[in-house]
Amino acid sequence: MSCPRCGARLHSRKPNSIARTWALVIAAFIFYIPANVLPITNVISFGKAQADTIMSGVIYFVKSGSWPIALVIFVASVFVPLLKLFLLSFLLISVQRKSQWRPKDRTRLYRITEAIGRWSMTDIYVVTILVALVRLGSLATIEAGPGAIFFAGVVIITIFAAMSFDPRLIWDAQEPNNER
Amino acid sequence: MNAENNHEPDLSNLPQAEVQRKTQISIVWLIPIVAVLIGGWLAYKGLSEKGPMVTITFESAEGLEAGKTQVKYKDVQIGKVQTIRFNTDLSLVIVEVELVKEAEPYLTENTRFWVVRPRVTASGVSGLGTIFSGAYIGMDPGKEGEAARDFKGLEIPPVVTTGMPGRDFLLRATTLGSLDVGAPVYYRQIQVGQVIGYDLEEMGKSLKIKIFIDAPHHKLVKKNTRFWNASGFDLKLDASGLKLNTESLVSIMMGGIAFDTPTSLEASGPAQADQIFRLYETRESIFERTYTEKRHFVLRFNESIRGLTVGAPVEYRGIKIGQVVDIKAQYNMETVSPEITVLIETEPQRWETIGKATGDDKDRWEKQIVKGLRAQLKTGSLLTGQLYVDIDFHPDAPAAQLKLDGQFPEFPTIPAPLQIITARVNELLSKLETVPIEKIGKDLSHTLENVKTISESKELLGAVQALNETLQQTRQLVQNLDSNVAPAISSTLDQAQKTLVSVEGTLGQDSPLQHEMRQAIKELGEAARAVRILTDYLERHPEALIYGKGKAK
């Protein structure tokens, strides 16, 4: 069935929701590894290059006593993406197993996932702003590392994954007669 | 846009839904596949590019930071310090470095690592970039040798790295002077190399200096090449004027080494691989050969040694055989006399020996001293009054011998020739001074004048003529005597002889005249005795003349 105006194909539900979401979640998981292993920023200060991964940045802030900043970075860059991926995986698995377990809470989890996903991009914003701002020639320069690309990839893919997941699937299991 | 939400009133015109069954795998799966590919590629790259881990030991880790400090070769990063730790006794720092894979074949026992820090030397500033970037570890790959993973880091960066064409040489010196690593090496005032290191030798008696001479100049170093310290400048003031010698401005500031191959009788040819050259103090000293064997002698002089300095040559007939080592004024408490003692060293190796040796060294010296070998002070230069010690044979010198009682054998000396002459001339002059030459001269001239007047007078001429006549007359007289008087004399003599014979007969021993004479003399003697008795008596008894004899009794 397609739209009489634009000819776009019409779906009763989000098409292929589970498979798409799985694919994106798996891709996000894979990208999550280089995003954390590879340096996200290259700070070149006084000719001294220093590459920092997300975790090394967190550790640096912890060591220097800036607990709040460390917490913000950790939550936004490490905890939230991972939480999202695990939540999505949990939802997918529960849907596939036609779980009857607290569909209302699970729907709420999905809403949270969708809501917090974009906040992970703060890290990328910080990096891009720093790269743009700190251009002091030989005194100090910040460059985005390869980790930033992967990290951005993780965030974007998880956003898409959250979008491609159809929360109605959670409720399908409550109605045994209703086949999608 | 779901179909359920379409609540249009007219449903008759609705197209029939075409349900399409999805058989193919969703294109979405490409995303994780791509992700896997990228991840896999990254993992493969990471693993395949993982280079060798090496450990380098340093005295200190100044400027090194784990995870940050880079390892560079020709300023290209080839590795990174991973960890820094201590060895077991905390004496050294062990730096673990991960290098790129390409560096693996160059990690041999000859590979060198050092820390590049800012260094300011007179020859230049290096490592300036490290002020901002921090220190890094420099690497000099070693192409040959066995593969190695543990290295000892150099504390001083090497000046010469592998691959530089040329050769290094070892010099032995007593002092370093103002030399330092990087000091230039000159050949005819062209810089051909530099000092790459120095080290004290065992026992600390001398030090070894390692220099590197760039190709093709390293071929200029021959077996008999002389190296000398060209540090600073050489100012010399002598009879020929003021002379300033220096290699270059840099060498004034930080010293340098120069070399040359003098023309000599020594064997030439390319330098040996393990040859150690001596570093001479000055350019002049390179022309002296080095002699390790020394023999010391003490000389005692009673004359002024003004002009004799330590280092003055000891010569035998104009050939240097040694030098003065020490000069001392000594006071002999036994003889209560000041003495000047000069210590000389001779270098027997200066002599080329011919023939077989007999007896020991002392014997040979003593034999020569018996032959008249003596030391003597001589003036080397009349201008400067520099003295030197001359050893030569003086067969008419007073006998002497080698004195062996002191620390060093004492070699007999004779006074300087100039001094002998001076002494004699002085003596002569003082004698001459006492002679009244003026008076003698006056008298002499007076006499001569008188003689002149006499000789020129007419009286003398007349006298001479008269004398001449007298002589002629005398001759005539003699002739007359000869012809007339001589026969008469002859007969007279005959007569006289006859007379004498008769006299002899008369006066003979048994002649009566003699007998009578004896008698008469006897009578005379008795008479004389009687007279004496009479006089004695008279002296005692003068009254006897009047009263007669015996009355006084």
Domain residue limits, chain A: 17-39+55-120+146-172
Tell me the shortest Cα–Cα distance from B155 to chain A, in angstroms. Answer: 23
Q: Which residues of B touch A4 (CB under 8 A)?
A: 15
Interface of A with B in 131-160 (CB under 8 A): 138, 153, 157
* pLDDT given at position B331: 84
Residue that wins the pLDDT comparison between B128 and B227: B227
CB contact under 8 A, B2 and A164: no
Beta-carbon neighbour count of residue A81 at 10 Å?
27
pLDDT range class, residue B470, cuts 50, 70, 90: very high
B522 has a pLDDT exceeding 60: yes
Contacts of A50 in chain B (CB under 8 A): 68
Averaged pLDDT, A4-29: 83
Phi then psi dihedrals of residue B378, to 5 deg: -135, 155
Element (H, E) at B341: strand B337-346
Q: What is the pLDDT of residue B552?
A: 47
Single-letter code of the amino acid located at B353: T
Query: Using 50, 70 and 90 to split pLDDT, how confident is the model at B267?
Result: low
Residue B263 has pLDDT above 80, yes or no: no
Q: Structure tokens of A33?
A: 């590894």
Q: What token pair was written down for B478?
A: 């003699």
Cβ-Cβ contacts under 8 Å for B485 (sequence gap 6 or more): none
A155-172 confidence digits (pLDDT tens): 888 888 888 888 888 887
How far apart CA B313 and CA B319 sit, in angstroms, is 9
User: Residue B251's closest CA among B234, B235, B231?
Assistant: B231
- The terminus-to-terminus CA distance of chain B in angstroms comes to 225
Beta-bridge partners for B108: B147
Given pLDDT bands bounded at 50, 70 and 90, which one contains residue B23? low
Residue B266 has pLDDT above 70, yes or no: no
- Of all residues in chain A, the one with the smallest CA distance to B32 is A27
Q: Would you say the pTM of this structure is higher than 0.90?
A: no
C-alpha B553/C-alpha B531 separation (Å) is 21
Between chain A and chain B, how many beta carbons pairs sit less than 8 Å apart? 72
Q: Do A10 and B32 touch (CB under 8 A)?
A: no
Å between A144 CA and nearest CA of chain B:
17
pLDDT at B526: 94
pLDDT of B531 > 90? The answer is yes
Question: What is the pLDDT at residue B527?
Answer: 94
Residues ≥6 apart with Cβ < 8 Å to B178: B231, B232, B254, B255
Q: Distance (Å) from the C-alpha of residue B215 to the closest C-alpha of chain A? A: 36
pLDDT band for B497, please (50, 70, 90 cuts). very high
Output B56 or B456, whichever has higher pLDDT. Answer: B56
Q: Name the more confident of B187 and A44.
A: B187
A8 CB within 8 Å of a chain B CB = yes
CB-CB: which of B18, B31, B129 is closest to A47?
B129
Residue type, B142: G
The answer to whether residue B4 scores a pLDDT higher than 60 is no
CA nearest to A146 within chain B: B42
Whole-number pLDDT of residue B524: 94
Question: In residues, how long is chain A?
Answer: 180
- Range of weakest confidence among B108-112, B115-119, B139-143, B266-270: B266-270
| Pair of tokens at residue B407 | 């620390």
What's the rounded Cα separation, in Å, for the pair B474 and B463?
16
CB of B247 closer than 8 Å to CB of B257: no
End-to-end CA distance of chain A: 16
As a whole number, mean pLDDT of residues B284-294 equals 68
What is the least distance, in Å, from the CA of A29 to any CA of chain B? 9
pLDDT band at B523 (very low <50, low <70, confident <90, very high): very high
Domain-wise residue ranges, chain B? 47-158, 161-290, 295-351+360-425, 512-546
**CB contacts, 8 Å: A27 with chain B:** 31-32, 34-36
CA distance B103 to chain A (A): 22
**Is residue B27 predicted with pLDDT exceeding 80?**
no
Identify the weakest region by mean pLDDT among B118-127, B185-194, B470-479. B118-127
Residue A179 has pLDDT above 80, yes or no: no
Q: What is the mean pLDDT of chain B?
A: 80
Q: What is the pLDDT of residues B80-100, one digit of tens each?
A: 888 888 888 888 888 888 888
Q: Which residues of B touch A157 (CB under 8 A)?
A: 31, 35
Residue B258 CA to residue B282 CA, distance in Å, equals: 10
User: Inter-chain contact B29–A23, Cβ cutoff 8 Å?
Assistant: yes
**Where does the pLDDT of residue B287 fall: very low under 50, low under 70, confident under 90, or very high at 90 and above?**
low
Whether pLDDT at B290 is above 70: no
Looking at per-residue pLDDT, the higher value among B513 and B2 belongs to B513
Report chain A residues whose CB lies below 8 A from the CB of B1. 3, 8, 10-11
- Spell out which chain B residues touch chain A, with contact meaning CB-CB distance below 8 angstroms: 1-4, 15, 17-18, 22, 25-26, 28-32, 34-36, 38-39, 42, 68, 129, 132-134
For an interface test with A, give the residue of B22, B25, B28, B64 to mutate (most A CBs within 10 A): B28
Q: How far is A165 from chain B (nearest CA, A)?
A: 13
CB contact under 8 A, B22 and A3: no
* Cβ neighbours, 10 Å, residue B164: 12
Mutation site for A-interface testing, chosen from B1, B22, B65 by largest number of A Cβ within 10 Å: B1
Question: ipTM score of the complex?
Answer: 0.73
Asked if B282 and B177 touch (Cβ cutoff 8 Å), the reply is: no
- Taking residues B295-305, report their average pLDDT: 83
pLDDT score for B289: 61
What are the tens digits of pLDDT across the range A110-126?
888 888 877 777 778 88
Burial of A136 (0-12, 13-18, 19+ CB in 10 A): exposed
Tell me: pLDDT of A49 over 50.
Answer: yes
Do A1 and B29 make contact, defined as CB atoms within 8 angstroms? no
Q: Residue B248 pLDDT more than 80?
A: no
Task: Identify the DSSP state of B294.
Answer: -
Binned at pLDDT 50, 70 and 90, residue B529 comes out as very high
User: Going by DSSP bridges, is the β-strand pair B276-280/B226-229 parallel, antiparallel, or unpaired?
Assistant: parallel
Q: Which residue of B has its CA nearest to A14?
A: B2
Do A46 and B29 make contact, defined as CB atoms within 8 angstroms? no
Per-residue pLDDT tens for A144-157? 888 888 888 888 88
pLDDT over 70, % of chain A: 93
Does the pLDDT value for residue B112 go beyond 50? yes
Residue B182's nearest CA partner among B134, B129, B250 is B250
Which tokens hold the place of A174? 């409550």
Q: State residue B494's pLDDT score.
A: 92
CB of B71 within 8 A of CB of B80? yes
Tell me which chain A residue has its CA closest to the CA of residue B128. A47
3-state DSSP assignment of residue B406: coil
For the record, the structure tokens of B31 come out as: 């995303």
Residue in B18, B32, B132 closest to A1 by CB: B18
**Model pLDDT, residue A180:** 45
Q: What share of chain A is helix, strand, coil (3-state, %, to 5)?
A: 65, 10, 25
